[in-house]
């Protein structure tokens, strides 16, 4: 398939605009459908072969992140959650055949050319010469993705939005065709802002803590506390709904009301696309005892936290990214009065925080805590009342820590004004 990919492109507000686009560079992107604004998705964050792709509301999660790297005359598109490649089922050349994730083979049925089409791209399968489309040209969330003959129908147009990070095995390659009149545009450093809440796929009452080791994929089911677990108020004696062993992943879960004491991580863990509809005592806590443990919260969101959302009681690092939070006390608190006075670290990126909210992070500077922030959007806060980084003096268990200041200092609270956007 031959495409003429020449043009002048400009980058405005994180999306490519212009008469026509240059071919993209290798990197991590979201593919946003030109008709619906929905993102190309591996449904349920599945890691299995043969799962047909869908479009769904863009939420910044890894199952909507596509790592483009050079392959043949185009790119392979590898899903961020599974590493698997977008390909046409059975290497079919017929219209209407499913586009699915499959183990990457480098085949031409897994190779895609991105052909400039106005300000978007057609995503053309090299084996079939057919275009990535939604079934029946659907614009609904959950619509299946397939190939159809190429034309200018808007469901066959896709825009690329930078997902902000490079794939793990990054081949640095030049675009398919180099534009003749201008250099390749640099992908935006601003990924798509998290927005939109999922609807639940059924509900389940939880009467005793669910232990997770390995991966639990909730398929967007709602789990809520029942019986003696706790009422989701501010009592510290409630039980968690989920408890994750070291190395566990919990994904595609909605925590409903009551939320009790949320989720515990006993070591390194990942919460992917987890949503709290009404945060209980808090949303999730990092426990554990290793200074190298990392808890990663990627995608999802939390609403209505009377006090804390993420509580850090053990040592180590919490990474919070692609997350939205609305009406809360603190998005993150390094415990100021726990049994062990650890040094703790937090990194926040691509966060949308809607006021009211007291602070994004509360840390104890006397224990050497650090908090780093990038691409933070604060909404509904014209007077800038939400504190980005609140400093405390941590104290022994049994006392109450005191607030000692706030603001960027390059040592404990690390950010610059360009990291914080008010909307
Ligand atoms: C508060 C409380 C801590 C601890 C924490 C938690 O910060 O002061 O001692 O209980 O909540 O784990 O929820
Ligand atoms: Ca608490
Ligand atoms: Ca708690």
Output the pLDDT for position 70: 82
Domain total for the chain? 2
Window from 55-64, 209-218, 283-292 with minimum mean pLDDT: 55-64
Cα–Cα distance, 95 to 406 (Å, whole number): 59
Atom number of ligand 1 nearest to Cα 313: 12
Q: Encode pLDDT of 69-117 as tens digits.
A: 887 878 887 898 887 899 999 898 888 899 999 987 888 898 888 788 8
Atom number of ligand 1 nearest to Cα 281: 13
Nearest residue (CA) to ligand 1, atom 4: 338
The Å distance, Cα 22 to ligand 3 centre, comes to 50
**Residue 376 lies inside a defined structural domain of this protein:** yes
User: Which of 30 and 325 is assigned the larger pLDDT?
Assistant: 325
* SS3 of 279-334: CCCCCEEECCCCCCCEEEEECCEEECCCCEEEEECCCEEEEEEEEEEEEEEEEEEE
Backbone angles phi, psi at 240, to 5 degrees: -80, 155
Nearest residue (CA) to ligand 1, atom 8: 337
H helical segments located in 179-278: none
Q: pLDDT at residue 383 above 50?
A: yes
Give the end of a domain, one of 153, 183, 213. 183
Residues 115 and 46 in one domain: yes
Atom number of ligand 1 nearest to Cα 282: 13
Q: pLDDT at residue 377 above 70?
A: yes
The Å distance, Cα 231 to ligand 3 centre, comes to 13
Output the pLDDT for position 183: 52
Output the pLDDT for position 22: 77
Nearest residue (CA) to ligand 1, atom 10: 236
% pLDDT > 90, the chain: 61
- What's the CATH number where 383 sits? 2.160.20.10
The Å distance, Cα 282 to ligand 3 centre, comes to 5
Q: Of 122, 118, 102, nearest to 110 (Cα)?
A: 102
Enclosing H/E stretch for 206: strand 203-206
Output the pLDDT for position 348: 98
Residues 107 and 216 in one domain: no
User: Which of 407 and 58 is assigned the larger pLDDT?
Assistant: 407
Residues 304 and 222 in one domain: yes
Atom number of ligand 1 nearest to Cα 397: 9
Token digits for 115? 């052909």
Window from 32-36, 215-219, 256-260 with minimum mean pLDDT: 32-36
The Å distance, Cα 303 to ligand 1 centre, comes to 19
Model confidence at 17, pLDDT cuts 50, 70, 90, reads very low
Atom number of ligand 1 nearest to Cα 337: 9
Nearest residue (CA) to ligand 1, atom 11: 236
The Å distance, Cα 275 to ligand 2 centre, comes to 19
Residues 215 and 332 in one domain: yes
**Residue 196 lies inside a defined structural domain of this protein:** no
Output the pLDDT for position 81: 81
Strands (E), 210-288: 210-212, 215-225, 242-244, 248-255, 263-265, 269-276, 284-286
Residues 105 and 211 in one domain: no
Q: Are strands 294-298 and 269-276 parallel, antiparallel or unpaired?
A: parallel
Residues 33 and 124 in one domain: yes
Model confidence at 190, pLDDT cuts 50, 70, 90, reads low
Contact 20, 37 (CB under 8 A): no
The Å distance, Cα 335 to ligand 1 centre, comes to 7
The Å distance, Cα 8 to ligand 2 centre, comes to 54
- What's the CATH number where 142 sits? 2.80.10.50
**Residue 136 lies inside a defined structural domain of this protein:** yes
In this structure, the residues whose C-beta lies within 6 A of any atom of ligand 1 are: 236, 281-282, 285, 311, 313, 335, 337-338
Q: pLDDT at residue 403 above 80?
A: yes
Residues 133 and 255 in one domain: no
Give SS3 for 218. Answer: strand
**Residue 190 lies inside a defined structural domain of this protein:** no
Nearest residue (CA) to ligand 1, atom 7: 335
Q: pLDDT at residue 58 above 80?
A: no
Contact 136, 125 (CB under 8 A): no
Average pLDDT over residues 172-200: 62
Atom number of ligand 1 nearest to Cα 400: 8
Model confidence at 213, pLDDT cuts 50, 70, 90, reads very high
**Residue 380 lies inside a defined structural domain of this protein:** yes
Residues 166 and 56 in one domain: yes
Residues 317 and 389 in one domain: yes
**Residue 305 lies inside a defined structural domain of this protein:** yes
Output the pLDDT for position 13: 39
Model confidence at 24, pLDDT cuts 50, 70, 90, reads confident
The CA radius of gyration of the chain, in Å to the nearest whole number, is 22
Residues 210 and 127 in one domain: no
Residues 300 and 406 in one domain: yes
Residues 282 and 386 in one domain: yes
Contact 416, 388 (CB under 8 A): no
**Residue 134 lies inside a defined structural domain of this protein:** yes
Cis peptide before 258 (omega within 30 of 0): yes
Give the end of a domain, one of 183, 212, 227. 183
Token digits for 297? 């919260």
Output the pLDDT for position 53: 94
Domain residue limits at 98: 4-183
Output the pLDDT for position 97: 92
Ligand 1, pocket-test mutation among 284, 306, 337, most atoms within 8 A of CB:
337
Q: Indicate the average pLDDT of the chain.
A: 87
Q: Encode pLDDT of 125-158 as tens digits.
A: 888 989 988 998 887 788 889 998 888 888 898 8
**Residue 193 lies inside a defined structural domain of this protein:** no
The Å distance, Cα 249 to ligand 3 centre, comes to 20
Taking a 5 Å cut-off on Cβ, the residues next to ion ligand 3 are 261, 281-282
% pLDDT > 70, the chain: 89
Contact 46, 68 (CB under 8 A): no
CA 43: distance to chain centroid? 14
The Å distance, Cα 281 to ligand 2 centre, comes to 6
The angle at the Cα of 302, spanning 301 to 308, to the nearest 5 degrees, equals: 135
């Amino acid at each position: 398939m031959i495409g003429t990919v020449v043009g002048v492109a400009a980058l405005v507000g994180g999306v490519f605009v212009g008469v026509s686009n240059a071919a993209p560079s290798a990197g991590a992107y979201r593919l946003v459908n030109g008709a619906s604004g929905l993102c190309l998705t591996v449904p349920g964050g599945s890691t299995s072969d043969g799962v047909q792709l869908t479009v769904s509301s863009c939420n910044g999660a890894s199952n909507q992140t596509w790592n483009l790297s050079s392959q043949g005359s185009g790119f392979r598109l590898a899903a961020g959650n599974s590493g698997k490649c977008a390909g046409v089922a059975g290497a079919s050349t017929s219209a209407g055949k499913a586009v699915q994730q499959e183990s990457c083979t480098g085949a031409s049925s897994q190779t895609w050319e991105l052909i400039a089409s106005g300000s978007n791209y057609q995503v053309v399968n090299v084996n079939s010469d057919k275009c990535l489309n939604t079934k029946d040209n659907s614009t609904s969330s959950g619509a299946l993705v397939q190939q159809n003959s190429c034309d200018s129908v808007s469901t066959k147009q896709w825009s690329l939005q930078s997902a902000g990070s490079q794939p793990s095995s990054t081949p640095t390659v030049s675009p398919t065709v180099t534009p003749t009149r201008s250099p390749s545009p640099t992908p935006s450093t601003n990924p798509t802002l998290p927005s939109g809440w999922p609807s639940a796929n059924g509900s389940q009452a939880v009467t005793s803590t669910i232990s997770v080791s390995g991966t639990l994929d909730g398929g967007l089911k709602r789990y809520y506390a029942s019986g003696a677990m706790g009422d989701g108020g501010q009592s510290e004696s409630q039980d968690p709904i989920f408890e994750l062993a070291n190395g566990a992943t919990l994904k595609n879960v909605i925590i409903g009301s009551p939320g009790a004491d949320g989720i515990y991580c006993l070591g390194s863990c990942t919460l992917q696309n987890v949503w709290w509809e009404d945060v209980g005592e808090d949303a999730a806590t990092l426990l554990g005892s290793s200074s190298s443990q990392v808890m990663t919260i990627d995608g999802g969101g939390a609403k209505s936290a009377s006090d804390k959302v993420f509580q850090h009681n053990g040592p180590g690092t919490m990474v919070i990214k692609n997350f939205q939070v609305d009406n809360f006390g603190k998005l993150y608190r390094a415990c100021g009065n726990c049994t062990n006075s650890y040094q703790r670290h937090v990194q926040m990126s691509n966060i949308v925080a809607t006021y009211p909210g007291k602070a994004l992070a509360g840390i104890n500077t006397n224990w050497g805590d650090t908090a780093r922030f990038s691409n933070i959007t604060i909404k509904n806060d014209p007077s800038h009342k939400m504190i980005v980084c609140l400093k405390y003096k941590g104290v022994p268990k049994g006392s109450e820590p005191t607030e000692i200041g706030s603001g960027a200092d390059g040592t404990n609270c690390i950010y610059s004004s360009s990291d914080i956007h008010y909307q």
